[in-house]
Amino acid sequence: MSIKRLTAFTLSAVFVAAACSSGGSSSAPSAAASSASGADCTVGMSWNNFQQPRWAAHDKPNMQKTVEDAGGTFIDADANLSNEQQLTDVDTLISKGADVLILLAQDTQAILPAVQKAKDAGIPVVAYDRLIEDSSVLYVSFDNVAVGRAEAEAILAKVPTGNYVLIKGDPGDPNASTFLPKGWDDAGLAAKVASGDIVLLNGPDGTFTDAWATEKAQSNMEAIIDKAVADGTTIDAILAENDSTALGVVGALTAKSYGYPPLSGQDGDPANLTNVAQGKQYVDVWKNANELGKAAGAAALALCGGADMASLALPAGLIDAAVAPDVLTVTDFVTPGNNTMNSFILKPTPLTAENLQLAVDGNQISKEDLCKGVDPASAPAACQ
């Protein structure tokens, strides 16, 4: 155990030196000896659907750079939304010599035969962004409950008491009905509703939005505004679960000339970031995919070197301090299927007008797009 721990630590040290070239923090004596494992390591990545622009823009380049900077080789394949194709892809990656696999599974269950195949071949597996129900897999993702918590924390800090509107996503999506609302309640929403500091205008469950559709969210919000006006109440704040619904809410507020009470969202969609810059949306909780890519790349290299999964730690300084503690260590994650997994869980970043620069720095949006239509007089720092 302790030897494995040491290996993990020294490996980490190598990656810090390689990836960041700042290098100062650690002085492990055996660093040079174990650096060979990085050079030998081939990391195989299977995407479920590479068409989504996010993967090519953020996840893949950072993952690839982390691996290649440490001297490893990066190969990948795209399953194009097909479970079957993904199983074939995993076979191909293994036969091409992958020493470790990173899987973005099309389906949390259908991927299991591929995981078994990897296990049989003695290849460690990393579940990337999306859960795989198998306790031998390392899960690297963002804390989805924390997304809801970050949304509510930002809005509650801005509007501690008053009338709230809750806009939720598709009623069939557990994120919409369970995880995000749990985060809201963890941040204090439930307590404040119980104490009467906050009044929920559209019922204790809020309003669901079929398929997270922007138009539907807009129609619902218009009815809620009409109701509030008819009742003679004001809307002080709006908790929207994600950006597509928040965009619909802004549409409704604009159509009704209601003004813009503090509004939440998540995803860091460019259109919504522009709304944040214009003061139409207060907070946009952003999952920085660049950092997720780096974390998975570093974790894969460590596993490649034979590190014990349960005691893995990511090198200091590799991940942006906004999304993870200085040295990110493996934590237990209990899945909905009651498996306990090893995991690296990153924190999402709440973006407001004050820290929009982070989105520009992270290549999420160009400064030009962000600041389109922003009134120079009230422009946030990122647009000046």
- 133 versus 170: smaller Cβ distance to another protein: 170
Instruction: Calculate helix-pair angle for 289-304, 31-40, nearest 10 degrees.
Output: 110
Considering only residues 237 to 256 of the shown chain, the ones binding another protein according to CB under 8 A are: 244, 247-248, 251, 254-256
Residue tagged 């007008």 (tokens): 353
According to the binding rule CB under 8 A, does residue 227 interact with another protein?
Answer: yes
**154/165 with CB nearer another protein:** 165
Q: By C-alpha distance, which of 213, 194, 146 is closest to 348?
A: 146
- The distance of closest approach from Cβ of residue 268 to another protein in the complex, given in angstroms and rounded to an integer, is 11
In this chain, which of 231, 326, 354, 375 binds another protein, going by CB under 8 A? 231
Tell me the closest approach of the beta carbon of residue 209 to another protein, in angstroms. 7
Going by C-alpha positions, the residue among 296, 328, 336 that lies closest to residue 47 is: 296
Out of 40, 84, 107, 226, which residue is the one contacting another protein (CB under 8 A)?
226
What kind and span of H or E run contains 346? strand 340-346
Query: Which of 12, 175, 274, 281 contacts another protein by CB under 8 A?
Result: 274
Do 312 and 299 meet the contact criterion of CB atoms below 8 Å apart? yes
Shortest CB 280 distance to another protein, Å: 10
Place of tokens 């509004």: 263
Q: How far is the CB of 174 from another protein (least distance, A)?
A: 15
Q: What distance in Å separates the CA atoms of residue 148 and residue 239, rounded to the nearest whole number? A: 9
Which spans in the chain are helix H? 2-20, 31-40, 53-54, 60-69, 83-95, 112-120, 144-158, 174, 180-186, 189-195, 214-231, 243-255, 270-278, 289-304, 357-361, 367-370
CA distance 281 to 279: 6
| Residue 257 interacting with another protein (CB under 8 A) | yes
**Min. distance of Cβ 191 from another protein in angstroms?**
23
Question: Is there binding between residue 193 and another protein (CB under 8 A)?
Answer: no
Cβ proximity to another protein: between 148 and 265 the closer is 265
User: Smallest distance from the beta carbon of 207 to another protein, in angstroms?
Assistant: 6
C-beta closer to another protein: residue 144 or 274: 274
Contact call for residues 359 and 289 (beta carbons, < 8 A): no
**Footprint on residues 32-91 left by another protein (CB under 8 A):** 51-53
At 330, which amino acid appears?
V
> With CB under 8 A as the contact rule, which of the stretches 7-15, 69-77, 224-232, 285-293 interacts with another protein?
224-232
Least Å distance, CB 270 to another protein, is 6
Q: What is the Cα–Cα distance from 317 to 20, expressed in whole angstroms?
A: 8
Per CB under 8 A, 199 contacts another protein: no
Residues at the contact surface with another protein, assessed by CB under 8 A: 51-53, 171, 202-203, 205, 207-216, 218-220, 222-224, 226-227, 229-231, 244, 247-248, 251, 254-259, 269-272, 274-275, 372-373
